[in-house]
Structure 1
Amino acid sequence: MHSVDYGAGTPILLIHGFCVDHRLLLGLDPVFDAHGQWRRVYVDLPGMGQSAAGPEIDSADAVAEAVVSFARKTFGAERFAVLGNSFGGMIARHLVAEFGEQVLGLALLCPVVVADHGSRTLPAKIVLQTDPILLAALEPADAADYETMAVVQSPGNWFRFRDAALPGLRTYDQEAVERISSNYALRVEPEARFAGFQGPTLILSGRQDHVVGYQDQVALAGSYTQATVAVLDRAGHNAHLDQPELTAALLGEWMERVEAWKGR
């Protein structure tokens, strides 16, 4: 799988969501750069970004196993942290089940908790702030993608979406994504494979996230004994783009906990 690697220090694997690529999370990099020494490994999931996907990539389990293989090759026996966003959050939970105490800490940004879309607890889709002038100035396809996700429409928010989300949305392998979508759920829920993850955990959700919601994410905290749970208002499914300052503050505190945990 394609990846980009920045910095040196405590390793962290960053896993993006569905139909985008590693660039969705690159805006977080200054946060890590400002909080100690971190080796940041951003990966493109199979069929997305620059990672190819053969016919064997036909399910969430196949994606998860590809990421497990990548992590073993990249980190060996070294302990590492994991950050997962959306679909990548489900994969990150799988890594916790697979690697156990080798995972130093877990950060979940708007993670998929309930794979079946029809079974999710979701708020109604709402836009708190519209900007029709901005939307009218965009290319129609760009405006449609942005309008689908944006809770607070503004030039600054659009620029973050344009740079982080659009590149992946324009390049993913549609056939591979269709294969994965047909088997979107993991065969076994990760939390069924362990009694409770002891490492520092952050579960961050958007109050207006109509894609995965926030209530299922709050309930997930029961399986993570050192979890900080935050539901951010004025934030949708791309909460780290909608509320970058709050996300940075919460991630910074989580990184401090991970560094302290590493010394135990």
Structure 2
Amino acid sequence: MEIRAGQVVFHCVEHGTGRPVLVLHGAGVDHREAEACFEPALDGVAGLRRVYPDLPGMGRTAAPETLRSADGVVDTLLRFADEVTAGAAYLLVGHSAGAYFAQAMAARRPERVAGLALVCPLLPGVREVPGHRVVAGSGEIGDDVFRSYFVIQTPEMLERYRRHVEPAAALVDEAALERIGERWALTPGHTPPYPGPTVVVAGRLDSTVGYAAAVDLVHHYPHASLAVVDDAGHALPHEQPELLRALLADWLVRVERSASAGRADGKPSTRTGPS
């Protein structure tokens, strides 16, 4: 499916019907990784329409020359959200760089975001990043990218990498990502923290972004749950699927509770948190 948002035509896939859930993948991959990781956790939940777009410059979504910053990507994603949701409130899930964009989207349009899930989020304050360490497997299978990404290096994880991660590399527009990366820092906002139900999940062994900066987010978001998962790296959604499913299930319960509280207070059901 293709959806135009300004000058960008997004390629995306979707499953289910009901409240929209936008799931944003990280850098250097495409919707297939997010779909493989999050669809098992969301598929069994009734009333969710899961939408997995290819981000600009990745997969089958081209990035026009006019797209030259992370701020531009966020603006484009907000237009995409407007188009795909037809104005309804939506849930927002992001992994890695997708979580970086998701944070900004929720900050700029809090009234439209019913819940925010950040998994191994890329953050501007990344610090205390641990060295890479393998916790399962010989450390001798797969290519260099696999071995530097996964800390659980079993044949099962290698198969997931080869099916859902590796194929996207050939589709990456490296020039576009370099162009956007030159202005990667988002313009600081001056709005209150996103007030809705939030979950932050980090891998204790994440040698890409670490977990220390993610821990700080529990103090930033007033309704955030935080999980730092041992024996998981940046590929946490692959390596710890059952735990991720449980954490997202708890988050979805809180989303529904927040929506119900809004309806009981006479507020529009599309809002979440205090107005």
Whether TM-score is above 0.5 comes out as: yes
Report the Cα distance in structure 1 between the residues aligned to 2:204 and 2:35, rounded to whole angstroms. Answer: 23
AA in 2 matched with 1:91: F
Report the Cα distance in structure 2 between the residues aligned to 1:194 and 1:160, rounded to whole angstroms. Answer: 39
The alignment status of 1:92 with 2:89, answered yes or no, reads: no
AA in 2 matched with 1:57: L
Give the CA deviation at 1:185: 1.5
Are 1:114 and 1:120, in contact at CA under 8 Å, matched by a contact in 2? Answer: no
Equivalent residue number for residue 181 of structure 1: 181
The alignment status of 1:221 with 2:228, answered yes or no, reads: no
The percentage of counterpart residues that share the same residue type is 36
Are 1:23 and 1:167, in contact at CA under 8 Å, matched by a contact in 2? Answer: no
Are 2:32 and 2:165, in contact at CA under 8 Å, matched by a contact in 1? Answer: yes
Equivalent residue number for residue 164 of structure 1: 164
Secondary structure, aligned partner of 2:197 = strand
Give the CA deviation at 1:33: 1.8
Equivalent residue number for residue 72 of structure 1: 82
Equivalent residue number for residue 20 of structure 1: 29
The alignment status of 1:126 with 2:133, answered yes or no, reads: yes
Report the Cα distance in structure 1 between the residues aligned to 2:168 and 2:127, rounded to whole angstroms. Answer: 25
Alignment deviations for residues 107-149 of structure 1 (CA, whole Å, 9 cap, x no partner): 001011126xxx533112222234256x1xx5xxxx1110111
Cα separation, partners in 2 of 1:132 and 1:235, compared to 1, 3 Å: closer
Report the Cα distance in structure 1 between the residues aligned to 2:168 and 2:13, rounded to whole angstroms. Answer: 15
Give the CA deviation at 1:208: 0.4
Give the CA deviation at 1:69: 1.0
Q: Which runs of 4+ in 1 moved over 3 A?
A: none
**Which has more helix, going by share of residues?**
1
Stretch moving more, 105-114 or 177-186: 177-186
Q: TM-score, normalised by structure 1?
A: 0.90
Unmatched runs of 5 consecutive residues or more in structure 2: 1-9, 263-275
The alignment status of 1:81 with 2:91, answered yes or no, reads: yes
Alignment deviations for residues 158-197 of structure 1 (CA, whole Å, 9 cap, x no partner): 1222222112223111111111222221122xxx433232
Equivalent residue number for residue 112 of structure 1: 122
Cα separation, partners in 2 of 1:35 and 1:55, compared to 1, 3 Å: same
Unmatched runs of 5 consecutive residues or more in structure 1: none
Report the Cα distance in structure 2 between the residues aligned to 1:244 and 1:179, rounded to whole angstroms. Answer: 34
AA in 1 matched with 2:241: P
Equivalent residue number for residue 10 of structure 1: 19
AA in 2 matched with 1:223: H
